Amino acid sequence: MYAIDFISEFSVNPIPEPDTTLAALLRQSERHDTTLTLTTSRRGLVNQVNPEAVAETLAVTAEHPRLLPVGTLDPRYFLNWQDDLQTCVDGGCVAIRFSPGPQKWHPDILVFEKMIEAVGAAGLPIIVDFKGASDDGLTWIRKVAAATHRYGVQVVMNEVSYANMGELITVMQAYPNVYAAIRWLCLADGLEVMVEAGLGDRLLYGSNAPKYSIHALRNQVLMARISDETKQAILGANALRLLDMDIEDLPVEPLLIQTKANLPAEPIIDIHAHVSGFHCAEPYNTRTETNVPEMTERCNIQYTFVSSYNAINYDMREGNADTQAFLERYPNLRGYISCDPRDIPGSVEQMERYFQDPRFVGVKLYCPFGGNMATKRMQDLLDEIARFGRPVKIHMDETGSPYPGVRSAALRNPDLAIIKAHGDDAEGARQIVDLPNIYFEFCSSGIQAGRIRRALDILGPERILFGTDQPLFAPWFEYGAYIDAIQTQREADLIFRENARRIFAL
């Protein structure tokens, strides 16, 4: 098999958080034997003068034969945009990329439609970035599809959220000119769902490297339960067909990639997962059924720690009872008791009841539903949890002074192990580096190896844990980004096994 990475971007000067430098892109692409990488200067994706961005893209890609230039147009920089497009065509750009989300403009504008028409006349496909669209992204999908279809333009929708997969599938079935880059469509079983919907010939492997992990996305494709032919289509054949290129006539020699996913050789421990289903397009998860135990086994995970999503955002008591029922069915699961600061007496009752079952190993708190870290009721609940001597994993809310709140609780309860779910970058790590009872784990749809490494360098490997957010995301997807960040066997042993055993007294 070979790989054509359809989506990447670079900066010519160092930007440490995240590292989007050209050097990082070249390093990742070479490490993973990527045959060709389509790339764009980040200058053209933010608030810079577009002709300068196009010039930078063309200059950099001319020096690296495995990089193909993708030009940019910016409706805000209206002046001489036709000249920008002609420069892209003359310079050999293979596509034109638009970035309405980060640039804060809406696709439902006439100048964008005129640009689509002109790009179509030039015979190029376009890429439209949906990251940063917020709630508007759901309505953009159909609007962009309809506008490009009118002018016979092939469009690649990049960074459409997994939460909008249902609309994306429906639009792609209605508009045959629409392709989708798969990085943010990283739901567990998400590729299987889209292939089953008949869209396997219009899915493109686009990693958004170097910001995001090539390793994680490669694992996602290789572990999908689809045919090898469909895997190769997603990894490269669809891209070549869209670009009207042939594998035999590429400007560089094709590189063969590893066709087996990189999975742990020794059993590991996943400290962040859920049961009771999500609202997303996932076929195997409801309140009473889950495929977490099966994914756990496929990824050589010894134990996966689960909390009930039903308990987190709907019914604490019913959901915790659901968790116990799953623990009784599956020996490779361990449980969190979900607690709610809006009901402290009820939360204490739940801990008194379920901590009698040794399969429950800790507490789960979810601030976006229950209250942010700075509230008195959250602080009071953390004091109650500390009395039970069990770790607590917290999804912190970005509002309400989360770090001062977690610091206050950690200082008052130095023996309480507090795990920040979904991690943070270097600045977050610096805010709690002096508190040895606060830990990070990093599961995310936007998991960045650089982010893990920067926090790891500040906190040390003894304070980093492995988590996946199953069944929302597949464990092999998250594992790939952790592997990118880990540099020694000792770090791997601590992060994947020993820290969890120590903190949870397994």
Q: What is the pLDDT of residues 446-479, one digit of tens each?
A: 888 789 999 999 999 999 999 999 999 999 999 9
| Mean pLDDT computed over 424-428 | 92
Q: How far is CA 449 from the centre of its chain?
A: 11
All residues at 6 or more sequence positions from 20 whose CB lies less than 8 Å from its CB, including other chains: 9, 10, 11, 42, 210, 211
pLDDT bracket for residue 16 (50, 70, 90):
low
Residues near 368 by beta carbon (within 8 Å), at least 6 away in sequence: 395, 397
Note the pLDDT of residue 471.
94
Q: pLDDT band at residue 95, thresholds of 50, 70 and 90?
A: very high
Radius of gyration of the chain (CA): 23
Best CA proximity match to 301, nearest among 471, 109, 55, 71: 471
Per-residue pLDDT at 337: 98
* Alpha carbons 87 and 220: distance in angstroms, whole number: 37
Residue type (1 letter), 33: D
Domains and CATH numbers, the chain: 4-249 (3.20.20.140), 268-503 (3.20.20.140)
Q: Where are the extended beta strands (E) located within 155-232?
A: 155-158, 178-181, 203-204
Residue 283 confidence class, pLDDT cut points 50, 70, 90: confident
d(CA 10, CA 38): 11
Query: What is the identity of the amino acid at 45?
Result: L
